[in-house]
Amino acid sequence: MCSIDAMPILLLALLFGTLAFLYWRRRTTTLTRDCRWRQDRAAGDWVCAACGERAMSQDAPTFCAAR
């Protein structure tokens, strides 16, 4: 059981962990709100609905072609 004295330390650790996770997610993705990748099964590639860029990949691309 946690004592009341340790509660502020736990809350600060939780806040720091949450902020670190959000910072990490922001730095590791290059997608923007405009990226809308749709799979074109007939051609076997992915098409961005925002800019029309095409990408060959098995999975949905994780980059923004408009940049």
The DSSP line for 16-66 is HHHHHHHHHHHHH----TT--EEEETTTTEEEETTT--EE--SS---S-TT
pTM of the model: 0.48
Residue 21: the pLDDT is 95
> Average pLDDT of 58-66?
77
Res 15 pLDDT > 90? yes
Q: What is the DSSP letter of 7?
A: H
Residue 6: the pLDDT is 82
Please give the angle made by the CA atoms of 42, 46 and 51, to the nearest 5 degrees.
120
Distance CA 3, CA 14 (A): 16
Q: Between 28 and 19, name the one with better pLDDT.
A: 19
For the stretch 25-45, pLDDT in tens is 888 776 666 778 899 888 889
- Amino acid type, 34: D
